[in-house]
């Protein structure tokens, strides 16, 4: 059993790690957002769609990138020889994946019915060997909860990607500006990872350790494979049955919910998996960590998701320009979808920490049974990317419900405790909805900028006010926990 002091130390390290990871991610993502605003004015929906072909195609091969070895390195105890073995396995397979990408890229052109998909997929395949050079460094920083040192690599990735993409777009490179920018961002981040993480691989390979790494990693690959299918089946089917412009529109609608909500949940997951792995032998401590994570994540994602759904149209008009107005109703659906996913996002890390990653695969299969036919119908019958978004939302509701049930059983945590953890965010969210809808009604005849500013201001005041009035103790506890975590000692 872990002592109370060790639990507090782990909590402190986890919160500090989350703050640093959040700062690193969102400093970079803020730059991505700025570059997206610029690129939205320089490039067309079709340009984003053609780049989307490559991202989707590469995404499916990314499932096996690293062979799940980075998760295994986090899970197992430290061993210098195991890290070296993992590095060479990952790098070797990264080179192989690039070769596979080059050979199979004509299938992307055939599937999307667009010859442009072939070359962009081939070139973007360079991300496999490039990323492999920094995967172990990244994993070791995560294992140590040293997210402060990840700040610079994450920042320079986004900075390099944005600067190069904008420069090339200005000189007429079109969709190639997005592809080349992605590669440059990856390359400069690898250089930064090697600077901030002093570990260096040695020229040794212990073949007896490889099976253990690959065995654990195979479970992660199975999870990631189904996860990738669920996350990309919409792009895949839109690209196949609709136009490049439709895919570009959908991609743009996904950008902000992904940035604000999905990326935040992913940032938290980077921290909580190694933290959960350290407490995996104490179910009571793990349950408290799960509920605490759920409460604090929902306090952030609920207002973001609801606020974005309610202000999608003025936001798109102000930041992306009128030519992207059709993306607004899609953004509404995607905001709700990402909000639902965030509520039990950390359940997957519970399963992995408990050595039961296969549960995630089973959940993914169940969701795929509903999601794939639903999206196929949406792109072939109404042929609407907005309907695709609402299909995603419906299936996300199903997945969230399943995670509540199974995580509760594994942790011996009744549903009422999980509902109680979400209660503060839910009460604040109701207040936010009322305030923003009222504001939108009274500002309907004003400019989109005024609508957006007034809605954000009134929603924030209502949400924070409701928390202070109805859930004051939660706010005070969160504040004390944060101050303790930020204290030097």
User: What's the pLDDT score for residue 58?
Assistant: 82
Quickly state the pLDDT bin for 481 (edges 50, 70, 90): low
| Distances in whole angstroms, Cα of residue 447 to Cα of each of 307, 328, 416, 432, 460 | 18, 16, 44, 21, 20
What is the Cα Rg of the chain in Å?
A: 22
In this structure, is the dihedral angle defined by the CA atoms of residues 56, 59, 61 and 63, taken in order, positive or negative?
negative
Question: pLDDT digit string (tens) for 225-256?
Answer: 666 667 788 988 998 999 888 998 998 898 88
- Mean pLDDT highest for which of 50-64, 168-182, 187-201, 210-224? 168-182
pLDDT for 211 beyond 90: no
pTM of the model: 0.72
Quickly state the pLDDT bin for 221 (edges 50, 70, 90): low
Percent of the chain with pLDDT over 70: 78
> What's the mean pLDDT in 444-452?
95
Backbone phi and psi for residue 125, each to the nearest 5 degrees, phi listed first: -60, -15
| Angle at which helices 244-257 and 385-410 cross, to 10° | 40
Structure tokens at 342: 């965030």
Least confident residue range of 167-181, 230-244, 439-453: 230-244
User: What's the pLDDT score for residue 67?
Assistant: 64
Quickly state the pLDDT bin for 483 (edges 50, 70, 90): low
> What's the mean pLDDT in 167-190?
93
Quickly state the pLDDT bin for 126 (edges 50, 70, 90): very high
pLDDT for 204 beyond 50: yes
The DSSP secondary structure of 253-316, one letter per residue, reads HHHHHIIIIIHHHHHHHHHHHHHHHHTTT-HHHHHHHHHHHHHHHHHHHHHHHHHHHHTHHHHH
Least confident residue range of 77-86, 140-149, 301-310, 464-473: 140-149
Q: How far apart are CA 240 and CA 234, in angstroms?
A: 10
pLDDT for 216 beyond 80: no
pLDDT for 95 beyond 50: yes
Q: How far apart are CA 382 and CA 384, in angstroms?
A: 5
- Return the closest-CA partner of residue 147 out of 277, 339, 16: 16
User: What's the pLDDT score for residue 20?
Assistant: 54
């Amino acid at each position: 059993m872990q002592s109370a002091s060790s639990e507090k130390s782990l909590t402190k390290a986890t919160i500090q790690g989350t703050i640093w990871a959040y700062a690193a991610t969102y400093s970079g993502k803020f730059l991505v957002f700025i570059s997206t605003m610029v690129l939205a004015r320089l490039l067309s929906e079709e340009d984003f769609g053609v780049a989307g072909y490559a991202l989707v195609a590469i995404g499916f091969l990314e499932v096996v990138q690293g062979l799940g070895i980075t998760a295994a390195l986090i899970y197992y105890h430290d061993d210098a020889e195991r890290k070296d073995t993992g590095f060479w396995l990952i790098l070797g397979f990264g080179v192989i994946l690039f070769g596979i990408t080059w050979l199979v890229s004509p299938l992307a052109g055939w599937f999307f019915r667009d010859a442009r998909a072939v070359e962009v997929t081939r070139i973007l395949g360079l991300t496999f060997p490039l990323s492999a050079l920094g995967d172990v460094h990244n994993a070791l920083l995560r294992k140590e909860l040293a997210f402060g040192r990840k700040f610079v690599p994450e920042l320079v990735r986004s900075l390099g990607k944005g600067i190069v993409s904008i420069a090339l777009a200005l000189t007429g490179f079109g969709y190639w500006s997005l592809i080349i920018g992605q590669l440059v961002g990856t390359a400069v981040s690898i250089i930064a990872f090697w600077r901030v993480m002093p570990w260096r691989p040695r020229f040794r390979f212990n073949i007896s350790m490889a099976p253990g790494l690959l065995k654990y990693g195979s479970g992660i690959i199975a999870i990631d494979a189904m996860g990738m299918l669920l996350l990309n089946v919409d792009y895949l089917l839109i690209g196949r049955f609709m136009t490049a412009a439709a895919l570009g529109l959908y991609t743009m609608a996904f950008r902000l919910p992904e940035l604000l909500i999905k990326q935040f949940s992913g940032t938290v997951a980077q921290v909580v998996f190694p933290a959960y792995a350290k407490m995996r032998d104490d179910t009571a401590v793990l349950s408290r960590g799960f509920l605490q994570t759920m409460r604090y994540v929902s306090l952030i994602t609920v207002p973001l998701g609801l606020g974005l759904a309610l202000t999608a149209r003025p936001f798109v008009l102000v930041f992306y320009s009128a030519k992207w107005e059709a993306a607004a109703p899609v953004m509404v659906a995607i905001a709700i979808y990402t909000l639902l996913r965030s509520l039990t996002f950390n359940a997957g890390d519970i399963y992995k920490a408990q050595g039961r990653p296969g549960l995630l695969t089973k959940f993914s299969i169940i969701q795929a049974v509903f999601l794939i036919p639903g999206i196929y119908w949406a792109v072939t019958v109404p042929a609407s990317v907005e309907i695709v978004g609402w299909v995603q939302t419906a299936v996300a509701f199903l997945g969230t419900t399943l995670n509540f049930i199974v995580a509760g059983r594994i942790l011996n945590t009744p549903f009422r405790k999980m509902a109680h953890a979400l209660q503060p965010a839910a009460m604040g969210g109701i207040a936010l909805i009322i305030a923003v809808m009222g504001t939108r009604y009274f500002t309907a005849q004003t400019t989109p900028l005024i609508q957006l500013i007034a809605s954000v201001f009134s929603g924030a005041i209502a949400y924070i006010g409701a928390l202070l009035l109805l859930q004051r103790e939660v706010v005070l506890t969160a504040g004390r926990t944060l101050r303790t975590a930020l204290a030097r000692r």
